[in-house]
Amino acid sequence: MIALYPGTFDPITNGHFEIIRRASTIFQVLIVGVAVSEEKSPIFDHEKRLSMVNEVLNGFSNIEVQPYDGLTIDFAKQIEARVIVRGLRSPADGQYEFELASMNKKLADDIETVFLSSGDQNAFISSSLIRQIAQEGGDVSDFVHPVVHQALSEAYKK
């Protein structure tokens, strides 16, 4: 069975990695979809985000990293995913994620959404928080892969 874990990954964090690692043990094929998402004004361009995600996930035999643009549900149909995997860090994420899952179900009732909750060590990590800390010169090395840490350091050189 093919599952999709979509995101902007600006940047990919240890929280993302945890959900991806766990999902890869559940599904035969896990496609990590890296969304273009220019409307979010990402710090890294799409090619850099793809490159970082590929490097962080190097070594997983059942994970493919693919770019996409447009609606996630349309991409899920295109790759014939039967499941969309979403991570939940806290109850606050739940409302938005349940609304998204309900809309996706209306658009494609044959595709399920599965939620994986973050472990305690990653529940507070978000890409936006990582960017904010890095921008202010804070140390984010405990929250991201070394390649991501390096990229953030270069992006926010003062």
Residues carrying an active site annotation:
16, 40, 89, 127
Whose tokens are 């995600």? That residue is 53
Cβ distance 116 to 108 under 8 Å?
A: no
Burial of 97: CB neighbours in 10 Å, binned 0-12, 13-18, 19+? middle
84, HSE (Cβ side, Cα atoms, 13 Å): 26
Residue type, 58: N
Cβ distance 23 to 60 under 8 Å?
A: no
